[in-house]
Structure 1
Amino acid sequence: MKNAPIHKLIPLTLIAILLATSAIFAQSKSAKIDALIQQYVANRQFNGAVLVAEKGQVIFKKGYGMANIEWNIPNAPDTKFRLGSITKQFTAMLIMQLVEKGKLKLAGKITDYLPDYPRVTGDKITIHHLLTHTSGIPNYTNVPKFFETMSRDPYTPEAFTKKFADLPLDFEPGAKFSYSNSGYFLLGVIIEKVTGKSYAELLKANILTPAQLADTGYDLFSPILPKRASGYEKERGNYVNAPYLDMSIPYAAGSLYSTVEDLYRWDQALYTDKLLSAASKATMFTPFLGSYEEGFGYAYGWIVGKAKVGERKDSLLLIAHGGGINGFNTLISRAPQDKQLVVLLSNAGRAPLDAMCKNVLRILYDQPVQTPKKPVTDLLRQSVMTESVATTRQKFGVWKADKGYSVNEGELNNLGYEFMRDGKLPESIAVFTLNAEAFPTSYNVYDSRGEAQMKAGNKVAAIQDYKKSVEINPKNADGFAMLKELGESVEAPKQVIATVDTATLASYVGTYQLAPSFSIAITREGDKLYGQATGQGRLELFAESKTKFFLKVVDAQITFATNEKGEVEQLILHQNGRDMPGKRVH
């Protein structure tokens, strides 16, 4: 055999070098991700499985800690975890598939599909409202003593619907965003009603089988499910078995299980038209009213918005959702522009998944990682229980100054409530006091301490805390309600309404597009201005000034902007810390 010409060998050599270089960089990022997660594990903040994909390809997957602590069985990439509210994106997909087939309408009312549902509310709540958590239906998991009285018993979907169907609405449909598992539970009932199939059957036929998600399904308690993780929670600093929850309760709002590997396959399927058309996916991923974090809005089963990653100038579009269910905490985060994916599944209760995800994204985009800090709560718990208040305060000051420790308002607040639930009110008040000293501008720390003071019978102190809370946040309606209960006649401040001439109001009339499938129509009746967002009811706008208006039923404002000719060309919706411009289309 003759030797190959040298000019034919060079391209092959270059290809080999490029492949080797690419592998080195991939290994480098993989090693960095592993080292990062190991720090969270060492801090006892994470126990679960992780998968990371870069540009559509898996570069890292690994299990950490135990799938079963009692049997010393480790977690792995194919361990099955309960997903909690990540289930909602699968339910939204089923709904959109039925919309494409003409079996459902996004503007359709609950009573169009469930004629036995109470008409007083069901006649005005749409599928869109249910998908976007804007229905006003109370969240059944917030019902007093829900976990003690209902969560352990099996129900049929129809029977459990009656537990919340007759409750009064928290607000008029479309008026605002309020996360509600009840809405997604109803979507499951509607899916079964219009198809004649069970939710689990339709899920398997329409999503799991076509997307080849063999390790995903409805997590019923009785079937033998290989490699299913046990759920744990932290109690007083130690792991305990999570309380039992009958999985007929979360249903279409939170009853699925999956693996990090299957969620990668789910992510990849969403880049194709295998499950849903591009147009319908665009609708599904369009954010509507505000969500948990500033800059993000809730779409259909997904939280969508832009976030800064490290020191990058451009914000990154993220499509994500988390989940929390007895013993499990989950997160899937997609960056579709670059086909990046981060999946974090925990079976040891709450974990700092948002911070972990942000750090992984920093690694993917070659940004400096923020070193994970040890939570101060375990140390504080021990000190409060065994040492004097003065000693605890002194130690807390040292921990707070130490950059290796994390002093988090929410975690401290949870510790205070832990003591309160145990009936240890002096300890609870001590923790809330340290939280107030660490975060003096937060209204919630005073609100929480006020509750503890009230339970302890310290009426004067409770009144002082609630007054401080509403002083910082005049929109804290609960604070004003508690002051009234304590006998204090403190009125919530009223917004001053300005007068705007009818000619100016008429100039604002039109339709303004904020996203491809989301617009706000502005109309006028005499000296009153109204706004109606896509799929929502019409709401009156009240003038704060000549160009800025506010809504009374939801914390949102609208500003009208003109061009150089004085023509109104756009409005800006201000809500949940976001400024969302909408171009006037007619």
Structure 2
Amino acid sequence: MNTFKYWFIFIFSMIVAFSGNSSELAGKLTKITEAYIEHQMFRGNVLVAIDDEIIANVSSDNIEFSSRFEIGSIAKQFTAALIYLLEEKQLVDFGFPISTYVKGFSEHEIGTITINEILEHRSGLPRDFISLNERGTNRNMTSKERLRRLKDLSISPEKSKQYSNAGFAVISLIIESVTNKPFEQVLVNNIIKPLNLLNTGIITEKVKSSLVQGINRLGDDEIVFPSQLQNYAIGHGAMYSSVMDLYQWQLALISGKVVSVKSFNSMLANNHGLFRYLYNWPSNTGAKGQAFTHSGSNESFVANVSTYLDHKLIVVTLANEKPTYVNSLYNQLANAVLGFDEALPYENLLDKIATKVLSGDLDGAIKVFSQAKLAQRWDLPSALQLNRYGYLYLENKHFDSAEKLFDFLTQVYPDYKNGWDSYAEALDANDNKDKAKKIRQKYLH
């Protein structure tokens, strides 16, 4: 097991009565994060703030708190804010078809959908317009090239809710067309410069060497991923930021310093770039209210920003290693502040299970999983988590290991269709095409 050096900076303040003594709370938050670091469940930076005061900053590996991490889909918050600014200036109408603003979409099916449908992920557009295999050759994609790829997309007639990166790529083109400026320049002029976000922006050749390096941990092996251009993801990704900048961004957003309070409330009510939810902890010790959150990830980074509005609590977690337990960590940190304590992690259950799977002990892995499930352990790996872990091996061309992990996934989550699809994909990659065909016939049709 790797040993991480971790260091802690705390800024204490008087906070609301339910959270108790500030130094006591800071110590609790440190202890939680330290447990994740020690068990290789998190690597990166954490910030927790209440009432405009930073209560705890925790970092692994002596990473500065101004350090720049790739933030994946959190970029959608910035894109949504920019299109709202254009609406406030009456330069766009969310109910109008997008061909109104981007003539290149005229006479194409995609041109009939509206900005509002895209923001709500109800446009009928697919999740992506550039496949994983195509990313390497499209890193320096221009706006014209994105338009060419996007305009010929097919739209699902049902237009049911389906998360779509392609939709936010479309919004970036609308922003460029209406302002007659590159997306990056609009972002700088309207958000980055006014808020003085010195460590936030689009990943370019000039800045990519300044970013924290991403890592995939495959057992005892660490594969380092130098940052690369991601211009195919303008509008829905391709951005970097720091825990400090994202904290300032959240403060500005909720206080009406980015878009108007009316626009922010609309973003929140309709999940436009934000994902709103309600929370209700036990009434005798905890709290209730509303919050919004957004996560982002790519090949080697996972990010999350969660803002609990009723208590002005902001939790930012930026990880530069996969696999990671970012979602569990930010939830546990918020729970601790809001009066709901949980057991600290005492082992890395995902690693424990994966070690057995990869050594060929499938029965032993299923036994460990079943015992954890029976004990209702909060850290039981979900189907999605196992699927993502298998993909780390698949994407790094460890085909035998990926095949074993997906086989295990289908054993413990037999109703999870994505698991069977991933298993078939790994079999194909490992030249077991006949078995892959049989699985698709049996489980995916």
Q: TM-score range by the shorter chain?
A: 0.7 to 0.9
Question: Partners in 2 of 1:429 and 1:31 — Cα distance?
Answer: 42
CA contact (8 A) 1:447 1:465 kept: no
Gaps of 5+ in 1: 1-17, 66-73, 288-298, 467-478, 481-586
CA contact (8 A) 1:309 1:361 kept: no
> Residues 20, 331 of structure 1: CA spacing in aligned structure 2 closer, same or farther, 3 A cutoff?
closer
Higher relative contact order (CA closer than 8 Å, sequence separation 6+): 2
> Residues 437, 187 of structure 1: CA spacing in aligned structure 2 closer, same or farther, 3 A cutoff?
closer
2:115 is matched with which residue: 127, 132, 142? 127
CA contact (8 A) 2:390 2:406 kept: yes
> Residues 323, 121 of structure 1: CA spacing in aligned structure 2 closer, same or farther, 3 A cutoff?
same
**Partner residue, 1:25:** 21
> Residues 241, 365 of structure 1: CA spacing in aligned structure 2 closer, same or farther, 3 A cutoff?
same
TM-score by length of 1: 0.65
Task: Supply the AA of the counterpart residue of 1:39.
Answer: A
CA contact (8 A) 1:140 1:164 kept: no
Question: Partners in 1 of 2:274 and 2:162 — Cα distance?
Answer: 14
Task: Supply the AA of the counterpart residue of 2:24.
Answer: S
Residue 87 (structure 1) aligned with residue 75 (structure 2): yes
Question: Partners in 1 of 2:213 and 2:427 — Cα distance?
Answer: 38
CA contact (8 A) 1:450 1:462 kept: yes
The percent of aligned pairs where both chains have the same amino acid is 23
RMSD: 3.4
Deviation at 1:428, TM superposition (A): 5.7
**Partner residue, 2:34:** 38
Deviation at 1:375, TM superposition (A): 3.4
CA contact (8 A) 1:233 1:327 kept: yes
1:304 is matched with which residue: 276, 279, 291? 276
Q: How does 1:461-472 map to 2 (within 5 A)?
A: 462=439, 466=443
Task: Supply the AA of the counterpart residue of 2:341.
Answer: P
CA contact (8 A) 1:133 1:180 kept: yes
> Residues 101, 457 of structure 1: CA spacing in aligned structure 2 closer, same or farther, 3 A cutoff?
same
Task: Supply the AA of the counterpart residue of 1:183.
Answer: G
> Residues 110, 81 of structure 1: CA spacing in aligned structure 2 closer, same or farther, 3 A cutoff?
same
CA contact (8 A) 1:244 1:326 kept: no
**Partner residue, 2:172:** 188
Question: Partners in 2 of 1:418 and 1:368 — Cα distance?
Answer: 32
CA contact (8 A) 1:373 1:406 kept: no
1:168 is matched with which residue: 132, 136, 154? 154
**Partner residue, 2:56:** 60
**Partner residue, 1:206:** 190
**Partner residue, 2:181:** 197
Report SS of the residue matched to 1:334. Answer: strand
Question: Partners in 2 of 1:210 and 1:81 — Cα distance?
Answer: 21
CA contact (8 A) 1:319 1:333 kept: yes
> Residues 111, 401 of structure 1: CA spacing in aligned structure 2 closer, same or farther, 3 A cutoff?
closer
2:103 is matched with which residue: 115, 119, 133? 115
Greater helix percent: which structure?
A: 2
CA contact (8 A) 1:78 1:260 kept: yes
TM-score by length of 2: 0.83
Task: Supply the AA of the counterpart residue of 1:167.
Answer: L
> Residues 92, 234 of structure 1: CA spacing in aligned structure 2 closer, same or farther, 3 A cutoff?
same
> Residues 237, 306 of structure 1: CA spacing in aligned structure 2 closer, same or farther, 3 A cutoff?
farther
**Partner residue, 1:505:** none
CA contact (8 A) 1:231 1:347 kept: yes
CA contact (8 A) 1:239 1:348 kept: no
Deviation at 1:306, TM superposition (A): 1.5
Cα deviation, 1:475-507, whole Å, max 9, x if unaligned, reads xxxx22xxxxxxxxxxxxxxxxxxxxxxxxxxx
Cα deviation, 1:215-242, whole Å, max 9, x if unaligned, reads 222221224775x312222234532122
Task: Supply the AA of the counterpart residue of 1:129.
Answer: E
> Residues 374, 182 of structure 1: CA spacing in aligned structure 2 closer, same or farther, 3 A cutoff?
same
Deviation at 1:277, TM superposition (A): 1.8
> Residues 214, 134 of structure 1: CA spacing in aligned structure 2 closer, same or farther, 3 A cutoff?
same
Greater strand percent: which structure?
A: 1
Cα deviation, 1:120-152, whole Å, max 9, x if unaligned, reads 32441111122222222233356363235x34x
> Residues 59, 163 of structure 1: CA spacing in aligned structure 2 closer, same or farther, 3 A cutoff?
same
Residue 358 (structure 1) aligned with residue 331 (structure 2): yes
CA contact (8 A) 2:146 2:232 kept: yes
Deviation at 1:446, TM superposition (A): 5.5
CA contact (8 A) 1:429 1:453 kept: yes
CA contact (8 A) 2:202 2:240 kept: yes
> Residues 158, 35 of structure 1: CA spacing in aligned structure 2 closer, same or farther, 3 A cutoff?
same
**Partner residue, 1:472:** none
Deviation at 1:50, TM superposition (A): 0.9
Deviation at 1:309, TM superposition (A): 4.1
Report SS of the residue matched to 1:337. Answer: helix
Task: Supply the AA of the counterpart residue of 2:82.
Answer: L
Question: Partners in 2 of 1:444 and 1:159 — Cα distance?
Answer: 30
Deviation at 1:343, TM superposition (A): 0.5
Report SS of the residue matched to 1:286. Answer: helix
Cα deviation, 1:192-251, whole Å, max 9, x if unaligned, reads 21112222222122112222323222221224775x312222234532122654232221
Q: How does 1:569-584 map to 2 (within 5 A)?
A: none
Q: How does 1:10-409 map to 2 (within 5 A)?
A: 25-65=21-61, 74-140=62-128, 143=131, 145-148=133-136, 150-151=137-138, 153-171=139-157, 175-223=159-207, 228-242=211-225, 245-287=228-270, 299-309=271-281, 315-372=288-345, 374-387=347-360, 389=362, 406-409=380-383
